[in-house]
Structure 1
Amino acid sequence: MWMFGLMKNFNSPTSAIICYSSAIDGAEQLSMDLYELCVSNDLKCEIQPLPDSIRGTTDDITKQLSSSDFLICVGGDGTILHVSAYASSLQKPVLGVRMGRLGFLSELTSQEAPAGLQKVLDGASRLESRSIVKAQLDEESEVFALNDVVIGRSTLGRTVAVGVMIDNVLIAEYRADAVILSTATGSTGYSLSGGGPILFPTSKEMIVMPVAPHLTRSNALVIPPTSAVDFYVERGYEAVLAIDGLYEYPLKSGSKVKVSSANRHVDFIRLGEESQFYSNLADRLGWLRTDHSHTSFTESS
């Protein structure tokens, strides 16, 4: 089970790179504003638009990030997932700024960004480490996922047949829309929409669950980070392997996907205490009724 870990402070940085999605309105202008703020604080700063395609060239970003203290990502959760691969490989922390309405990975809204970034530059922030999993399709190279690994259909109206083994023990043979292996980060994504549990962000546990299984219960299973999961595609017509919803690989009958915890992580820059996660969760999932006063609850605590 998860435990609150030792809080890691993020000391005052001296250099940064700002990445933004050019497809999102206002992201470029906000990035320029944040660039000016960094420069005014005597930071060495670079600004770089992300390629339109997730498979586009990233040599410039990798080179600039390697000589920077942290990465500022302006966009949405999808943009942050895109840059997390660079950040984890180089062990550089990420400060996420969301332009949209909802986001669990980003720390700041576009309105909060200037003041929030200033706090980071002043050294008033901490690091939150998120675990990553690695997946290997047959004998191909390993790929890494911050959110989830999904085996499903590329077309609607069909199911995929997948056998699931955990630590060499066969636990299920699903015929379902998809089967998800989710990290704690991904537990507020696709897994949540399928009725899965929410894990604390720094938890290293993983979730295995089917999506709309046929003639099988849709129980989610939380497993320890030491476990290894093997997925066997028993019927693979038009089946796909999706990594973080960004990369897709075609699967055929007989394909095997091996998933386990990776020996790497992504550090996110946070301003609030660890318990701020619960407040964010309640707010973004609409758990609190706005027509009721909660003063009595907060005062009694």
Structure 2
Amino acid sequence: MVTGKGGTGKSTVAAALALALATRGKHVLLCEVEGRQGIARMFDVDPLPYAERRLATGLPAPGDAGGGVVHALHIDPESALLEYLSMYYKLGPAGRALDRFGVVEFATTIAPGVRDVLLTGKVYEATKRNARNKGAIEYDAVVLDAPPTGRITQFLGVTNELAGLAKVGPIKTQSDSVTRLLRSDRTAVHLVTLLEEMPVQETIDGITDLRAHDLPVGGVVVNMVRPRELGAEDLRAVRAGTIDASTVAADLERAGLEANDALVAGLLTEARDHAERRALEDEQRDVVAGLDRPTYELPRLASGIDLGALYELAGSLREQGLP
């Protein structure tokens, strides 16, 4: 499961993680539950239905026999409830009739926690398939683009809460099963952050909450890391204001550029801003390093996120050992 503060790129990391798994020959299901159709936009396909759809093949790494396949699933609570009613109560067409009358929407809106139970229940079902599930794809791994860190423990812990309301029956059985899976060593909740104070603090809070609810914390993915344009010595000199303007002008002329005062002053200002930004990022990197969790870094890609960029990020994750 991949979570993070809004704006940190958790959906991108989830997609890259799914592709990284596929490069290891794994058959992967990439799920989303927030209704934003982010997976479809990243992979440049039509909006995903409530059905598993083949998205991409993992490019085999050197020495691998071949890549696996990434399928995607957009899980919405209404469709999940209809499937649930069909599986456990054999309603079939009657369930669809309830949907037409708005009963399904009413149930998932008014009943506390029902939405999240249905969403996590569908993910659980995808992890339990075997040869007896005729026609269903067996997956080696499931990657969930989960809700943000501010809601992740509520989302993952709601099955346990609902089980307290339902003492017997299929709801109780499903809730107990999902809770066992979420708290097992088969699950890892990875957190995505930026090297900024607020996302890092939310990551710290998220780890604390996950541990308090006995949910397994995976690694921390530092996303959109800026390239190091200047070395450490140059950064210190820029911050100290000891860079000689005449030296910069000479370097420009050596490169065949006209070194006027305005250009030199502008470059020094840009360098100072960059150096200050790097100093702040290094402070936050030290904080992340102290979280006692595996840490991975992904670069900021100037060209934006498309399928090619996802493959690039997947390769970077794999090189760093995730997964």
Structure in which a larger fraction of residues adopt strand: 1
Which structure is richer in relative contact order (CA contacts within 8 A, separation 6 or more)? 2
TM-score by shorter chain over 0.5: no
TM-score bracket relative to the smaller structure: under 0.3
- TM-score, normalised to structure 1's length? 0.27
